[in-house]
Chain A
């Protein structure tokens, strides 16, 4: 920033509004606190003090209206699928979905034999990041969340799509 160096008073940052927006969104992606099966235990462990999701700006919200990211953590049964869809529809834009674990990705162990499990949550809602594992370790979940942040950071919400 050679041209701008030493030209301003204290505490001034210059950026494009577009970049600023996507930067702000990526670093405060609050996730929706809801779990469906054993993956939710790993999600809780990730949010707890040892791994501490709040250090990357993510904190749990108990209402879909306040959340930006939905972590589908666990087996999506057919009975639950319509509820998951409803919760997703209740979230305000911009909204992102993380599919956590084998069950949410593809049905997992229930993909061939199960009569009651949706074969992947992407059948009903669009998914941004898939995290493999059964269940994924907290490290994998954090990796997936960082990937999501990267994705959000590269978005340009105000720029016209060409």
Chain B
């Protein structure tokens, strides 16, 4: 894909050392570092050659128990009709990344959902609460090391009920 190469070159030109080049062919996505993410986000939204005006999806990924988390963003440009995926690796011990909620307003609830499921904290998000789960929920259910509780608020949630199998 030409647009991926173009975007990654443009980002690299403006923010040196931000794009992480791996051995895998980066045809599908661009992997970047988490430190300057907010600036990069503002740049790819406003730059006249890129103009990614729509944040379509934000997903969290748990790569395994000893590995990092990843946040994946899908952007689309309605003006220039191109799209990219951006991936940011996040440390497992202290998972946090800059919020882009004030760059694309649609990212607000998407980030809250990722926070809800993975416990990744989005720095600068103005209303970072759980999105789907109840507020008194403990733990982050889509993490690989999550243990399903047997009891919640006095209600039993057995894995196998009596009489099954």
CB of B155 within 8 A of CB of A106, answer: no
Q: B157 near A: Cβ within 8 Å? A: yes
Residue numbers in A under 8 Å from B155 (CB-CB): 78, 81-82, 118, 123-124
- Taken together as a complex, chains A and B put the C-alpha atoms of A119 and B152 apart, in Å, by 12
Q: A116 near B: Cβ within 8 Å? A: yes
Most buried by B among A81, A116, A124: A116
Give the number of residue pairs across the A-B interface with Cβ within 8 Å: 32
Residue numbers in B under 8 Å from A82 (CB-CB): 153, 155
Residue numbers in B under 8 Å from A111 (CB-CB): 161, 164
How would you classify the secondary structure of chain A's contact residues: helix, strand, loop or mixed?
Answer: loop
Q: A120 near B: Cβ within 8 Å? A: yes
| Binary CB contact string for chain B from 123 to 145 against chain A (1 if under 8 A, 0 otherwise) | 00000000001100000010000
CB of B134 within 8 A of CB of A78, answer: yes
Q: A79 near B: Cβ within 8 Å? A: yes
A149 → B minimal CB distance (Å) = 27
CB of A78 within 8 A of CB of B152, answer: yes
A118 → B minimal CB distance (Å) = 6
Which one, B146, B153, B158, B161, contacts A78 given CB within 8 A?
B153
Residue numbers in B under 8 Å from A124 (CB-CB): 155
How would you classify the secondary structure of chain B's contact residues: helix, strand, loop or mixed?
Answer: loop
Residue numbers in A under 8 Å from B133 (CB-CB): 79, 116
A85 → B minimal CB distance (Å) = 9
Q: B26 near A: Cβ within 8 Å? A: no
Q: B148 near A: Cβ within 8 Å? A: yes
Which one, A79, A115, A120, contacts B134 given CB within 8 A?
A79
Which one, A79, A81, A115, A119, contacts B161 given CB within 8 A?
A119
- Taken together as a complex, chains A and B put the C-alpha atoms of A111 and B157 apart, in Å, by 9
Q: B93 near A: Cβ within 8 Å? A: no
Known: A82-B153, A118-B157, A119-B161. 18 other contacts (CB 8 A): A78-B134, A78-B153, A78-B155, A78-B157, A79-B133, A81-B155, A82-B155, A106-B164, A111-B161, A111-B164, A112-B160, A115-B141, A115-B146, A115-B149, A118-B155, A119-B158, A123-B156, A124-B155
